[in-house]
Each structure stands twice: as C-alpha cells, then as structure tokens.
Amino acid sequence: MKNIAMLLSLLFLAGALSAEDKLPAKFVRVMGTSEVKVVPDRAVIEVGVEKQSPSASAAKHAEDAAAGKILAVLRARGIDEKDIQTTYLWLQQQSSYMKKVKIYYFVASQTMTITVRDISKLDALLEALVQAGGNEIDSIRYETSEVRKYRDQARDLAVKAAREKAEALAKALGQDIGKAQSIEEVPETNYQYLGGISANSLFEGESSRGRAGGPSTAAGQKTISASVTVQFELN
C-alpha cells in the first residue's frame, strides 16, 4: 500500500509540474514610435503640356513641339537625362457645344517627372518650364537623398521609446522587464498630398516674388517616422 501511495504522489507531482510548465508566460507588449525631421535636398516635379486641335495629328505635333522645348530647357539647365522621365502620354477625341452645335476636337497631353537635385534652382526652373510651354505642374514632392540613414535613426529611437514605455508600465505594477521576446517593425503608411499648380498661379507667384524679393516655393521639413512593436518578459 505504501508503494502505491508513493507512486500516486509522484504522479500527482509530475502532473502539477507539467501544468505549471504550460502556464502562459508573463509579458508586456508595447509599440514605440519616433520621428526624425529632415531638411529636403531635392524635389520631384511633374510637368504637363496639353494641346488641342481639330486634327489628331496637329494636336500631337503641337504637343510634341512643346515637349521638345521643355526637354531643351531641362538640358540647358543641367538636368541629367536619368532625372527626366515621360510618365504619361495621352491623345483622345473630345467634344463640346458652341452655340448649340456639337464640335469635335483632339487633345494631346504629356507629363514628365523631373528630379531637381538643387532646390535653390527650383523656382527659376519652374518659370522657365512654363515659358517653354508647360501649362500644368501636377505636383511637387520634396525628398532627401539620405532617406535610409534617417530611417535607421528613427527606427533606433522607436526601439528606445518602446523599451522606455515598457519599463514605465512595469514600474507602475511594481515589476521589471526582462529580455525582449519579439520585435516587429510596423509598416509605414506614407500618405502625402501632392497638390497641382496651374501655369497661371506660377506666373502670379513669380510677379509677387519680384515685388517681395523672395522665393515662391518652400521645401520646409520632411518627416521620416518609424514604429516598432516589442514584447518584453515581465518579471
């Protein structure tokens, strides 16, 4: 009987230890976020030209001529060929009414994406492009050439922020954090508003700039952010 009782006790103890091993680990899971402000050192602009004519070939030839002038201006101002790309080309018949009569015509348009690596020359370049025939600036986007460097900085700061947050939460419970169990970078939602600018507004800005003596565009600062989710042991 003693042997049976001892065996039952051992089985009970083994079961208790096994159940204890299966208890969920104690942890704290936090998100750390950080931002780095950077002064942009280049701009990406989209310049469009649009022409219309009763003839498809005439509309396309007019658009080609204007696009050729734009390319000549870009090359004359030192923009490298690799920084110029045609990103949109369009030719379509359209119609409108004039004195209750429906008339047909063709519209030809082209958009070029241009990287300007010297922001100080941006205003003068925009004016030259409009004078060459560019009748629409679809967007201006400011960038930094060292985005990876600054993103690494933001990520390091985000990890530090996550640790500090976890330590603060654990301290509020009278506990400490241990080793990190997992870490995951949160994908960035990179939304940017790219406002269009008409040729007329550029001319208006240029005339006011002549009176005020200042530039008509401003690069400001670009925000590079990073977020991480980290799980720490909770002691």
* CATH number of the domain enclosing 183: 3.30.110.170
What residue spans of 102-187 are helical by DSSP H? 122-131, 147-172
Look at 31 and 216; give whichever has higher pLDDT: 31
pTM across the whole model: 0.67
The last residue of a domain, from among 114, 138, 162: 138
97, 115, 138: which is the final residue of a domain?
A: 138
Closest by CA position to 226, among listed 36, 91, 68: 36
87 or 210, which is more confident: 87
Q: What is the pLDDT of residues 174-190, one digit of tens each?
A: 999 999 999 999 987 65
Provide CB contacts within 8 A for 188, sequence distance 6+. Answer: 225, 226, 227
Secondary structure E strands in 73-212: 84-98, 101-116, 136-143, 177-186, 197-198
**Of 21-25, 59-63, 77-81, which range is least confident?**
21-25
Task: Give domain status of residue 89, yes or no.
Answer: yes
Query: What letter does residue 104 receive in the DSSP assignment?
Result: E
Confidence grade of residue 201 (pLDDT, cut at 50, 70, 90): very low
Query: Structurally, how many domains does the chain consist of?
Result: 2
Look at residue 199 in the predicted model and tell me its pLDDT: 45
Same domain flag for 34 and 87 = no
Pairing of strands 101-116, 42-53: antiparallel
Q: Do 93 and 32 fall into the same domain?
A: no
- What range does the domain containing 184 cover? 26-41+144-190+216-235
Q: Are residues 130 and 59 in the same domain?
A: yes
